[in-house]
Chains A and B, each alone.
Chain A
Amino acid sequence: MFDFLEGYDVLGAFWMTVKLTALSAVGSLIWGTLLAGMRVSPVPLMRGFGTAYVNIVRNIPLTVIILFSSLGLADIFGMTLGAHDFKVQGFRLAVLGLIAYTAAFVCEAIRSGINTVPMGQAEAARAIGLSFSQTLTLIVLPQAFRSVIGPLANVLIALTKNTTVAAAIGVAEAAYLMKTMIENEAQTLLIGAVFAFGFVVLTLPTGLILGWLSKRLAVKR
């Protein structure tokens, strides 16, 4: 019944999805945290940049960003990201696009987390003489992070699904293989079911584990 799977590297395609997700998740967590830091910083120019970045990037379709990273950044700006192979370049550009897009959502999640930290915590930190960066990194962010695991899990799940957009620039991940397979094979329904199942398997444990973690680690107030 599943002999149509022969000759296709389904696991390899999903491995590509996982790699895209993992690298983009790490990158957007770093960039998103920096953006969140900018958005709450005392320097008006940085605040302005953070706000503008989030509002602009969130309103552009991810497809536009990914396509631009390939047609614009690579072809016009010559950004090959150190890749010599066309396939490697596509992968790296896709990760770059996913990071740029997802970071805006990570930033908003973290900022909402910062808002849940009671005023008294930051006031106490300032009262004992901590500077802005110390208040942020030692007192506020650790508490904020624990309260935003739930929202961040949602961002991560959305990111997992968003990696399919990389198929638009030819990255051989799950959606790309599915497109090839349903065009060549007769079992449209079964192929659809296989790939749907793959994504359920990827997103279900993420939601369950991080949902459990967010309940466990939330700061009890």
Chain B
Amino acid sequence: MSSVLYDTPGPRAKRRNVVFSVVFFVLLALLVWWMWQKMDEKNQLTSALWKPFTESEAWTTYLLPGLANTLKAAALSMVIALPLGAVFGIARLSDHRWVRGLAGTVVEFFRSIPVLLLMLFANEFYARSTDVTSDDRPFYAVVTGLVLYNASVLAEVVRAGILSLPKGQTEAAYAIGLRKGQTMSSILLPQAVTAMLPAIVSQLVVIVKDTALGGVMIGFTELLNSRGTLAANYANVVPSFIVVAAMFIVLNFILTSFASWLERRLRRSKRSTGAVLGVDKVDDLNAAEVGGGFGSGASA
């Protein structure tokens, strides 16, 4: 086994690697042992605390409804944010400077503000200016916050997707006499959506993670919030965190794997133009990248 950084190990390197492995293993084991001791000390290991998770009640009363709310908020936010993002993404590519400028300002503004501030603000706004009932308000506020933020991130995804298409596509469309709007709607956008699919799916991971903010700060009963109620009932703080974290990990891991699978598949497909917006692009887009680095097209 060899890589850029090291040769296939010889006898000395092999011995050294074994030593490193052993030392590292001992350190890890010490850490695990310490955590085990501490949990034992605080009675977080007794089977009684883990037992609720083997029975249906904890799942049907707390965890599954919480998960359902998480998924509901995430899905709804995505469904609203996507068309909104498409509009702003296309507006940023407009030929008219004022449309470009306006859309750019809006997108950059909402990308540079933490989602939590948007949620807090929306929550208070709904309480004062609308007659949304206080039961529904957290859900509305979470979705509003997520939509505003993710629409602006998706706007960048859409823009990058359109820019990643080969220039010949636009030229060919103009050559056969299509107008600007027709070129966008029947040539560029359908291809861009395909190219963006992996990035869009992996953005869902970000949305799922952000719903947890609503649970802690504005009382939205999503998965993390339900964990609190559950732990208050069974006094199993650490086990409940472990179970909920595992649920998030599994859910997001499935989404990430699906996105990478989609990306590989699209890259292989013969019918596409070869423009694919990778999964890793989303991480870059989630931070407000001021000055925009997408002039060159983003087919990494």
B-binding residues in A (CB < 8 A): 40, 42-46, 49, 55-56, 58-64, 67-68, 71-72, 75-78, 105, 108, 112, 114, 117, 119, 122-123, 126, 132, 135-136, 140, 150-151, 153-158, 161-162, 164-165, 167-168, 174-175, 178-179, 182-183, 188, 192, 195-196, 199-200, 203-204, 207-208, 211
Q: Is there contact, CB below 8 Å, between B249 and A60?
A: yes
Query: Whole-angstrom distance from the CB of A165 to the nearest CB of chain B?
Result: 7
Which residue on chain A has the smallest CB distance to residue B280? A112
- With contacts A182-B124, A199-B114 known, is A63 near B215, CB below 8 A? yes
* A-B pairs with beta carbons under 8 Å apart, 20 shown: A58-B252, A59-B251, A61-B212, A61-B224, A63-B224, A64-B244, A67-B241, A75-B237, A108-B283, A151-B283, A153-B289, A154-B283, A154-B286, A157-B287, A161-B113, A182-B124, A196-B109, A199-B113, A203-B112, A207-B288
Q: Is there contact, CB below 8 Å, between B4 and A119?
A: yes
Q: Is there contact, CB below 8 Å, between A43 and B290?
A: no
Query: Whole-angstrom distance from the CB of A184 to the nearest CB of chain B?
Result: 11
Q: Is there contact, CB below 8 Å, between B248 and A68?
A: no
User: Would you call B116 an interface residue if the criterion is a C-beta within 8 Å of the partner chain's C-beta atoms?
Assistant: yes
Q: How many A-B residue pairs have CB under 8 A?
A: 183
Per-residue contact bits, chain B 279-297, to A (CB 8 Å; 1 contact, 0 not): 0100110111111010000
A-binding residues in B (CB < 8 A): 3-7, 9, 13, 17, 20-21, 24-25, 28, 35, 38-39, 42, 44, 109, 112-117, 120-121, 124-125, 128, 205, 208-213, 215-217, 224, 237-238, 241, 244-245, 248-249, 251-253, 256, 280, 283-284, 286-291, 293
Q: Is there contact, CB below 8 Å, between B212 and A122?
A: no
Cα A43 to Cα B14 with chains together (Å): 9
Cα A99 to Cα B99 with chains together (Å): 40
- With contacts A49-B24, A75-B237, A154-B287 known, is A182 near B121, CB below 8 A? yes
- With contacts A77-B35, A164-B116 known, is A155 near B24, CB below 8 A? no
Which residue on chain A has the smallest CB distance to residue B121? A192
- Other-chain residue from A132, A136, A164, A211 in contact with B117 (beta carbon distance below 8 A): A164
Q: For B3, list chain A residues within 8 Å (CB).
A: 40, 42
Q: Is there contact, CB below 8 Å, between A175 and B289?
A: no
Q: Is there contact, CB below 8 Å, between B5 and A175?
A: no
Q: For B44, list chain A residues within 8 Å (CB).
A: 76
- With contacts A154-B289, A204-B290 known, is A179 near B21, CB below 8 A? no
Query: Whole-angstrom distance from the CB of B23 to the nearest CB of chain A?
Result: 10
Q: Is there contact, CB below 8 Å, between A151 and B284?
A: yes
Q: For B4, list chain A residues within 8 Å (CB).
A: 117, 119, 122-123, 140
Which residue on chain B has the smallest CB distance to residue A205? B290
Cα A45 to Cα B224 with chains together (Å): 32
Q: For B208, list chain A residues within 8 Å (CB).
A: 61
Query: Whole-angstrom distance from the CB of A119 to the nearest CB of chain B?
Result: 5
Q: Is there contact, CB below 8 Å, between B120 and A211?
A: no
Cα A179 to Cα B118 with chains together (Å): 11
Which residue on chain A has the smallest CB distance to residue B37? A77
